[in-house]
Structure 1
């Protein structure tokens, strides 16, 4: 969709005639959402936007600016209406007693807003990140030593203030190391100050290896103090322990960046993508306590980074993890996170659809791609000569399908197709045709598009898991494509949403909110309070709170037409067990006793219409929403160690008239999120039109 948006920009003066072919009845892939009973929003999972999503936010600001909705008739008319800051973030840790305890923080606003013009052309550098990370350490130490003054260090006072020469700074560091002046916690303040100054001077110092060796020795000395503090806090003050864990992780990142030469390496963070994230941290001094902290586990949860969906096998490429963590915490603008003010389909894909229609783009829904057909090997440079589709349903009157519906003045995607627009729609609905299922093979017809007659260029926007099914000729012809589908893996995900009669405080949540929490107990490690969506839904009975949960899903059965039903039943069992036994750690008032969730808290859309309770006990959960995302294109693409090099860039021209787009491609961020998807789409547009310029894709030219 980002590619279509770029190619239809007015600047191109109609040069590109764009048609989007879409399986089923709605756009968005993993980001698609729909409106179900009582106009409730039903998502594939939890979608939050991070404050460093520069390209994605810039695209949406452009989209809403061009859409020009009337604020008097549409509740979400502008970009400012569509996204709201979500600065309250939490992680959880398991106490020695076995209880789970959340730790919640409110992150301060970042300067400006994502999508604003950058003050510098490319403000990202490894040295800059390390400087920002080290600047955080004194603040953390002050919070850990509240009420205790930090004594100054002899011979090093004010090094940064008076602009000491690089040689002077190194001399101060050598004196600290020689005389063991890091014997106290407070002394770390001045040592970190010197370290920051030395890092700023590193480019000017020679020989570089000698300087880095001195800095590594200082980091080792600081790390020894941190480990001593952590050892003293085993079983003690959890708040203090978390602070020291963060300090240790920051020091390990700085140490590893120096030890592996990332400041000067031409590949930047990609130089360590062969390593697994936790293993790389461990190699650089991280303790097992810090590696098992909620902060580290939350990063894995955020990236669904569990091989084969097995939470006992966390796996994340170190370079991707480091880049993502540094971008997340040190380059966010506006807010660490943003919440969409309706479903992702309503906020992102409905406006994009409307703008693209206004620009003259065409949409062919209910087209399932069956085969990408290549030119024969003897016909010169390889290119796509045909696209073969199953037509899943035909439109009454032969026109275009109208996909959007209105809820409270907001254009939205429904959760089900509008069978009234389909030929034999009543029969298709009665027979249960599943238009969005990979295993639904029934069709109303076939269609073949041919190069030269029907298209010139193809943007393949399916996910990597679908490529062997829809483009086997590409995999067979090109070794790079074969290596990609063999090595770039994906994982199924599970999610559920509940609508409740009690607000978060009444459920027992006694910390700041609305919050999103990760690092919690499996099978649902992430929770977000999404109560703000109630105002755009249409429940007849008051809804006091809305909660979204998600996590990875193990492969519960082999691929077959029965898999969706098997996986859905598996997820339902997970949810019931989770609500009975685990959610009480977050919402103690939501359970009568361990193992007994208060099922009467759930709002059943049918009850208000029927005027009486329709279900009791755990059966009430059947009125809520849950999903098992097992379709090949719905699975989350992993960033496993050793696999990033196999991702193909949209700029790759192995096939003359084909490019690819999706968060699974080589985009510069290389992790599964909307920012990666947009960056990939911009690269695909550049491959076709040489626009936008590569330097305008923020973060593409990144360390």
Structure 2
């Protein structure tokens, strides 16, 4: 280490973005140049990914957390974290990242059958080569032409599947179109097919799709208008051939909806010249994804079908939480879908083998502590104060001169709060703080201080950090919904920040977890463990999480565990200001859960309802009940033993990717303020969607803006100029 004074960095927020930035800035290659302190609301790290252990060590999450196989940046960092942690597998059951994450190949959608009623649409997603986060085997930087060519490849495969299903035969087609060895020959073949309309046989249509694939690979050699005309002719031939076949067969209809959507995507890519537009997918972000698909020929059945609906459900893409207002920017919607389906490695989804706090944030906490990072828990940010403009020298950039915090609680003896608890050898986060470590902790517990609640403003004292004394640089890594409350000067003085707050919207979400005496097969679910989206509101997404039963400490383990989540309809801002608001929303979610179990769950679990109708409340397990003592609550009252949450805190709200909003996001690379950068899935990070991967990418970008590392080309998926 050099003799230079270390640069003091204040990371505000301990979610995925803040932790990723801290991890990058404290790598050994920086030789201690950066001294990092993380300031965190309440007693635990994780942000929207936080979890805690409750009664019987039950895992209690903010929502349903699954990692996707394209999360290259997130997996790279967590794999490096576990490698550095070097846990002993003889003493810790989750010692390696492969203990923490397991591939999950079986997924599904809930589809409304034309014959009436909900039915599952399930599929086993095949494993792709490699593992997410592999080093030394870099993920290719796919172009839009690559994505569109893969789309046509998928269309070809699905067309053959439909043909085999309906006739029992597969047309005699070749992998590559015959007689088109040169671009000129391909151009001549395509022109001939257009001229003479030779699409009478399925074999000819499939070969024509192959021609399109080849043409997209060398687009500059072909006129785009020819490609568009050729595509439209092929699409028309397919629609004419298959339209009647799929009207009464749900399986064929589902396949056709994917074919129809992919044809619309390819047509839109050509029609909007995305292959040559330097903005790429961003060029169509002013359109809603459904609107753009409709403009490019997708049918109403496809647009409102299970597949497209699930793309909205999985990203809570409903403005103001209103399920009648589905909206997501078309460019980001396509980017997300293409990366999810065409670039995943190992498995489409990866399930965690414990709570996200336990398998992600506890290991990061331990590694960062070893590296010398200091954690200041119970610090609620109140204000980011800018230097007065009149105090700036000519040409000097504005900067943050102070950070104002409310210290929510003091640690006994003035030391560092120790946040983790041991659950049979695994370091975990508790669902409540350890009051024994806090000054007057017994009183705080009796008075019910809510350290993670925006509405509980109680504090032990205030604390101001001053630039040059307490910090040199600040990384603002809080949830995007909190920006209006803690960055008032930035919003008032800077039109860009004001526009961001106005245009980059957030929504509350809701989640529920059930622990049950009956197995999934006993409930009537006869498929393997699954993740399902596209179901009915108020809980359109659920996952079978029964594998976590052995991770908890029940005297008699539950036979099944299920997690549900959904967007929560928003309310006017004036209503959110009332102190009673969070408890009202908690009760609102409870009512939603009860209604959902009484009315809707029977479509997925037909045996969950009794002979007289209604949910069998005796299925629910209460961690507070002794195994042989009988049940303490009957009927609907048993639901109070389960876990549910209304994620209405500003920091917990989910950031939307609304049409026309993405250009108003601020990048971690923005240098308007001399000593401030931002991090979070609400920033302009190259993958502008609320998810773990976006947050990690943003955190890595924030670290780059300070240290120059990691290099931008090392941040997978970041392709902005």
TM-score by length of 1: 0.96
Map of 1:241 onto structure 2: 253
Deviation at 1:169, TM superposition (A): 1.3
State the Cα deviation string for residues 57-108 of structure 1 (Å, max 9, x = none): 0000000000011101111000110110011110111123430111100011
Correspondence for 2:209: 192
Q: After superposition, where does 1:17-416 map in structure 2 within 5 Å?
A: 17-117=35-135, 119=137, 122-146=140-164, 147-151=167-171, 160=177, 164-205=181-222, 211-229=223-241, 231-233=243-245, 235-380=247-392, 381-416=397-432
User: Quick one: which of 491, 505, 524 aligns to 2:539?
Assistant: 524
Deviations 1:228-250 (A, max 9, x none): 35531464110011111111111
Q: Give the structure 2 partner of residue 538 of structure 1.
A: 553
Q: What is the CA–CA distance in structure 1 between the aligned matches of 2:240 and 2:447, rounded to whole Å?
A: 67
C-alpha displacement of 1:129: 1.1
How has the CA–CA distance of structure 1 residues 595 and 158 changed in structure 2, closer, same or farther, with 3 Å as cutoff? closer
**Structure 1 residues not aligned, in runs of 5+:** 206-210
Q: Post-superposition shift, 1:702?
A: 6.2
CA contact (8 A) 2:401 2:467 kept: yes
Between 140-149 and 294-303, report the one with greater CA deviation: 140-149
Find out whether 1:9 has 2:27 as its counterpart. yes
CA distance in 2, matches of 1:681, 1:476: 25
- Residues 594 and 268 of structure 1: is their aligned pair in 2 closer, same or farther, counting only changes over 3 Å? farther
> Structure 1 residues 120 and 403 mapped into 2: Cα distance closer, same or farther (>3 Å)?
closer
Q: Per the alignment, in what secondary structure is the counterpart of residue 607 of structure 1?
A: coil
Distance 2:99 2:391 in 1: 53
Tell me which residue corresponds to 2:520: 504
Q: 1:121 to 1:523 in 2, by over 3 A?
A: closer
Q: Secondary structure at the match of 1:18?
A: strand
The alignment's C-alpha RMSD in Å is: 1.6
Cα deviation 1:171-206 (Å, max 9, x = unaligned): 22222222222234443211111111222232234x
Q: Post-superposition shift, 1:145?
A: 1.3
Secondary structure, in 3 states, of the residue corresponding to 1:664?
coil
Matched with 1:659 is: 677
Q: Does the Cα contact within 8 Å between 2:100 and 2:359 map onto a contact in 1? A: yes
Give the CA deviation at 1:464: 1.8
Taking a change above 3 Å as real, the CA distance of residues 27 and 603 of structure 1, as seen in their structure-2 partners, is: same
Q: How many residues align?
A: 694
Change (3 A) 1:702 1:651: closer
The answer to whether structure 1 residue 630 and structure 2 residue 648 are counterparts is yes
Distance in 2 of aligned mates of 1:334 and 1:158:
25
Spell out the pairing of 1:523-672 with structure 2 (5 A cutoff).
523-556=538-571, 558-559=575-576, 560-593=578-611, 595-608=613-626, 611-672=629-690
Q: CA deviation at 1:315?
A: 0.1
CA distance in 2 between partners of 1:679 and 1:583 (Å): 37
> What is the CA-CA distance between 1:621 and the residue it aligns to?
0.7
Q: Which residue of 1 aligns with 2:452?
A: 436
SS at match of 1:224: helix
Provide the C-alpha distance between the structure 2 equivalents of 1:281 and 1:58, rounded to a whole number of angstroms: 34
Q: Is the contact made by 1:499 and 1:543 (CA closer than 8 Å) also made in structure 2?
A: yes
* CA distance in structure 2 between the partners assigned to 1:359 and 1:643 by the alignment: 38
